[in-house]
């Protein structure tokens, strides 16, 4: 087998986390296998640039859910990696007729799975509905981290004060939580710098352009993103793939969820104490963030314990573990 095809959803509605975690997987294998991303027409240019700077090859098709279109690329014994909520059981069954191996990067265990292997890095324990022969890569020891975060995941963290804050709600921020969280942070004089990473640069820049403590970033490289996270004393972010990267650099996180697929990561991270959990944030306003931030400022030891728990999440050798896993999938 020489080719691995990646099908990952990416748009303003679902965000770009699917692509980033699929890329985390691809970057472990692209020197061994020919890794190719099949992207839907209309995916932003920065996503193409990011992928092509790493694994070199993207192919644009009108509909990545169209089996007939996929047949022109995917050949028997190729490996397909799926990451997205539209790749349901029916779609998986259709792909199996191409005589290929399928790996599903998943957040949900309820729907039956018709694949050869499942990856779910959430700390929450689940029982998947699948054939008993399906191979599983479950839990944080299989965290899908991009290289810089993988390298930093074994470094210890520490905290002395809360002066610099990191705010990011991914490519999709339908409830304008970046704005509300930042407004709450600005109420605390102790905070000297707030870094917002967003795809809604113009709107957020207009909102905070007169605030000297606020800096706004967009389309950051993974190295710049990791540096910004690491330099921060506190992060505010949803329970998405982003959470694993923040945990990897050992920055304490105020986190909640605003979509169903985030609940599993949220519950798992809350259970192991890797975040300060704030629950459903779909209706959160500035005052809600302020209330939780006030509790943190009263007892900074809470954040120090979070860092200790993050230190226990990653055991190293993630790449080696995945190389072994992929070898088993190919050998099936």
Residue 149 included in any domain: no
The domain in which residue 42 lies consists of 3-143+315-331
Q: Are 250 and 155 in contact (CB under 8 A)?
A: yes
Per DSSP, the three-state class of 302 is: helix
Q: Are residues 115 and 257 in the same domain?
A: no
Answer yes or no: are the C-beta atoms of 114 and 92 closer than 8 Å: yes
The whole-number pLDDT of residue 112 equals 63
pLDDT confidence of residue 224: 96
Q: Is there a single domain that holds both residue 114 and residue 201?
A: no
On whether residue 202 sits in a domain, the answer given is yes
Number of domains comprising the chain: 2
> 300: number of CA atoms within 13 Å, CB side?
10
Residues 61 and 74 in one domain: yes
Residue 254 CA, chain-centre distance (Å), reads 16
* CATH number (domain holding residue 198): 3.40.50.2000
Answer whether residue 150 is part of any domain.
Answer: no
CB-neighbour burial class of residue 28 (10 A; exposed 0-12, middle 13-18, buried 19+)? buried
Residues 185 and 247 in one domain: yes
Kindly state whether residues 21 and 139 are assigned to the same domain: yes
Answer yes or no: are the C-beta atoms of 85 and 14 closer than 8 Å: yes
Residue 32: exposed, middle, or buried by beta-carbon count in 10 A (0-12, 13-18, 19+)? exposed
Q: Are residues 222 and 283 in the same domain?
A: yes
Judgement on whether residues 188 and 100 belong to the same structural domain of the protein: no
pLDDT at residue 47, as a whole number = 85
User: Are residue 225 and residue 250 in the same domain, yes or no?
Assistant: yes
Same domain, 201 and 237: yes
Planar angle of CA 85, 88, 90, nearest 5 degrees: 160
- Do 131 and 184 lie in one domain? The reply is no
pLDDT < 50 positions in the chain: none
Q: What angle do CA 15, 146, 258 make, to 5 degrees?
A: 30
Q: What is the CATH number of the domain that holds 14?
A: 3.40.50.11190
**Are 166 and 189 found together in one domain?**
yes
Please give the DSSP secondary-structure letter assigned to residue 113.
B
Residue 148 inside a domain? The answer is no
What is residue 280's predicted lDDT score, i.e. its pLDDT?
98
Taking only the tens place, the pLDDT of each residue in 170-205 is: 877 889 999 999 999 999 999 999 999 998 899 999
Does any domain span residue 71? yes
* Residues 65 and 137 placed together within one structural domain of the fold: yes
């Amino acid at each position: 087998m020489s080719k691995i095809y990646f099908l990952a959803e990416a748009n303003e509605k679902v965000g770009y986390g699917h692509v980033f975690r699929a890329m985390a997987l691809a970057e472990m294998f692209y020197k061994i296998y020919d890794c190719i991303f099949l992207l839907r027409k209309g995916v932003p240019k920065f996503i193409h640039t990011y992928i092509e700077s790493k694994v070199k090859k993207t192919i644009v098709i009108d509909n990545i859910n169209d089996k007939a279109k996929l047949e022109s690329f995917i050949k028997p014994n190729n490996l397909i990696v799926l990451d997205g909520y539209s790749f349901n059981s029916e779609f998986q069954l259709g792909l199996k007729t191409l005589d290929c191996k399928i790996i599903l990067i998943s957040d949900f265990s309820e729907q039956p799975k018709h694949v050869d292997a499942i990856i779910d890095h959430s700390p929450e324990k689940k029982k998947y509905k699948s054939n008993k022969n399906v191979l599983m890569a479950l839990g944080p020891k299989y965290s899908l981290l991009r290289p810089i975060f993988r390298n930093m995941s074994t470094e210890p963290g520490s905290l002395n004060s809360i002066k610099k804050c990191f705010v990011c709600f991914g490519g999709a921020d339908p409830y304008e939580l970046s704005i509300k969280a930042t407004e709450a942070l600005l109420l605390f004089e102790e905070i000297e710098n707030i870094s917002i990473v967003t795809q809604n640069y113009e709107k957020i820049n207009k909102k905070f352009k007169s605030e000297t403590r606020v800096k706004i970033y967009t389309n950051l490289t993974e190295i710049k993103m990791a540096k910004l996270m690491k330099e921060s004393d506190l992060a505010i972010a949803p329970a998405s793939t982003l959470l694993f990267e923040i945990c990897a650099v050992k920055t304490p996180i105020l986190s909640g969820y605003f979509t169903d697929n985030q609940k599993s990561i949220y519950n798992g991270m809350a259970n192991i104490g890797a975040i300060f959990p704030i629950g459903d944030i779909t209706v959160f306003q500035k005052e809600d963030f302020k209330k939780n931030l006030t509790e943190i400022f009263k007892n900074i030891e809470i954040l120090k314990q979070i860092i200790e728990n993050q230190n226990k999440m990653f055991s190293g050798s993630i790449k080696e573990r995945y190389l072994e896993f992929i070898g088993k999938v190919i050998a099936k």
